[in-house]
């Protein structure tokens, strides 16, 4: 039996979605961190990655201006920091300082990586398209890096890395090796 859902929260049916931290810089080079669940690979050649950001976010303005951003894939152990970065604005809060996350230089951009993340995509902004109440930022992936032990033959080691996933509201989850099939 199916029950009628709430169309206002249609996107809850797409959850759990992997939750990432995106780093971006202000014009003075100060770094902000925003938590995002709405993001996706778009193209392999050229390598393009998309993130959906509301124009209400401080990060929206920063990325429009700096034209670059870093995607940081993070483990479940960073749920508290991710929730903090997703509930406070960089306009008034120094999120790197308050969360204690460690910023390290990226390879090609001014925006840094978050060292506690396990994989990173450095993106330069190709364009952004406003769709409804969010804007879809399309970035070209110009450099990638990951923890040495996070991947084997480009596959995530789910016995070792437990990515952070978001279920909605203030609820987070993860996956582990318990359910894994190889065909």
Ligand X SMILES: Cc1cc2nc3c(=O)[nH]c(=O)nc-3n(C[C@H](O)[C@H](O)[C@H](O)COP(=O)(O)O)c2cc1C
The contact set with ligand X (CB under 6 A) reads 19, 32, 34-38, 52-54, 57-59, 83, 86-91, 134, 166
What does the block give as tokens for 75?
């483990």
- The CB-nearest residue to ligand X is 86
The DSSP code for 75 is B
**Minimum distance of ligand X from residue 137's CB (angstroms):** 10
Decide whether 49 or 166 has the Cβ nearer to ligand X. 166
**Minimum distance of ligand X from residue 89's CB (angstroms):** 3
**Minimum distance of ligand X from residue 152's CB (angstroms):** 28
**Minimum distance of ligand X from residue 95's CB (angstroms):** 7
What's 108-167 look like in SS3? CCCCCEECCCCEEEEEEEEEEEEECCEEEEEEEEEEEEECCCCEECCEECCCCCCECEEE
- Measured between its terminal Cα atoms, the distance across the chain in Å is 32
| Euclidean distance between CA atoms 118 and 4, whole angstroms | 39
Decide whether 55 or 177 has the Cβ nearer to ligand X. 55
Decide whether 87 or 145 has the Cβ nearer to ligand X. 87
């Amino acid at each position: 039996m199916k029950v009628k859902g709430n169309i206002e929260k249609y996107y809850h049916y797409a959850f759990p979605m992997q939750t990432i931290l995106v780093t971006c810089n202000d014009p003075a080079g100060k770094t902000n961190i925003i938590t995002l669940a709405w993001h996706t690979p778009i193209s392999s050649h050229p390598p393009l990655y998309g993130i959906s950001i509301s124009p209400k976010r401080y990060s929206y303005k920063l990325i429009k201006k700096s034209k670059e951003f870093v995607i940081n894939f993070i483990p479940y152990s960073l749920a508290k920091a991710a929730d903090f970065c997703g509930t406070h604005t960089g306009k008034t809060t120094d999120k790197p300082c308050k969360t204690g996350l460690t910023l390290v230089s990226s390879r090609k951009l001014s925006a840094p990586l978050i060292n506690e993340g396990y994989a990173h995509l450095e993106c330069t902004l190709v364009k952004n398209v406003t769709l409804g109440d969010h804007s879809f930022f399309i970035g070209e992936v110009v450099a990638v890096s990951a923890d040495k032990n996070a991947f084997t033959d480009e596959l995530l080691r789910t016995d070792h890395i437990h990515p952070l996933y978001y279920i909605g509201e203030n609820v987070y989850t993860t996956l582990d090796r318990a359910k894994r099939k190889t065909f």
